[in-house]
Amino acid sequence: MMNLSICLENVRTKTPLVHNITNYVTVNDCANILLACGASPIMSDDPEEVEEITSICGGLNINIGTLNGQTIESMFLAGGRANELGHPVLLDPVGAGASELRTDTALDLLEEVKFEAVRGNISEIITLAYGNGTTKGVDADEEDQLNASNRDSVIRFAREFAEEYETVVAITGATDVITDGRRVCLIQNGHPMMSRITGTGCMLSAMTTAFLAANPGQPFEAVCAAVCAMGLAGELAHKRLSPLEGNASYRNYIIDAIYHMSGAQLEEGARYELL
């Protein structure tokens, strides 16, 4: 068993400052989910300041969702500086496989920056592992999703990826697969409606970076706690919806659920299996 509550409580008490070079589609939601979990956000992607900004932060979240020449340069600069300082860095390879720019940037980042965690859907992680994939936008292909017939092969693939890059990989989907190459955690929290919101993955990556920063030396536990918390928030938020409310209200309710979540609630509601 893992002590998920301590991971959450460490975020609340340490209030880590998280540097985000992230998707401008969801930047506001990422900032708000960080505030809700007890962390503090700072958004900076100008090459002239990212090294200075990341130096005062506890962790760095790199999300390739809306790339351009300026942000790509900033990702390498900030990633290198965070590595020098020993700050945890997370990679969210949004849409890797959808274009050469995204794929090449993600692969180059993996080679030049040490990531404490990599979080993406299975199609994105397959692209990182093999240099190509069939990602359709930011969605995972159905044939790649974890199921009873491919469970062992997906777990083996995730372990090999984590070992090769010496990272914690979080493959998120209907069933989330988290591994550091040795331990594996399968998480069943979440709700299908989460896929109807742009940004739940981006928010999770930002929050996971806060959990990593607040729990040094425990990256596997930190990632598992963050993924469980986000999935549980999706469940709690859906229960609040009235018949007239839709995905916009649902997004706000997810943030509210993280804001009000206690360590005890997380422990009670988390549904996971350790292998």
Question: In the prediction, which pLDDT does 145 show?
Answer: 67
Per the CB < 8 A criterion, the answer to whether 99 and 89 are in contact is no
* Amino acid 191: pLDDT: 96
Strands 17-21 and 40-43 come out as: parallel
In angstroms, the CA 107 to CA 115 distance is 12
Collect all residues with Cβ–Cβ distance below 8 Å to 90 and sequence separation of at least 6.
Answer: 59, 60, 61, 62, 115, 116, 117, 118, 119, 205, 208, 209, 212
Contact residues for 206 (Cβ-Cβ < 8 A; gap 6+): 18, 20, 22, 30, 31, 33, 34, 41, 61, 63
Reduced to 3 states (helix: H, G, I; strand: E, B; else coil), residue 1 is: coil
Give residue for tokens 């992230």: 22
According to the model, what pLDDT value does residue 148 have? Answer: 67
> Which residue numbers in the chain have pLDDT < 70?
132-145, 148
Question: All domains of the chain, ordered by start, with CATH?
Answer: 4-274 (3.40.1190.20)
Residue 99: C-alpha distances to residues 82, 228, 232 (Å)? 27, 31, 33
Q: Are strands 184-187 and 272-274 parallel, antiparallel or unpaired?
A: antiparallel
pLDDT of residue 143: 52
Task: Give the DSSP H/E element, type plus range, for residue 186.
Answer: strand 184-187
Burial 219-229 (b: 16+ CB within 10 A, else e): bbbbbbbbbbb
The two three-digit tokens of residue 49, written as one number: 């300041």
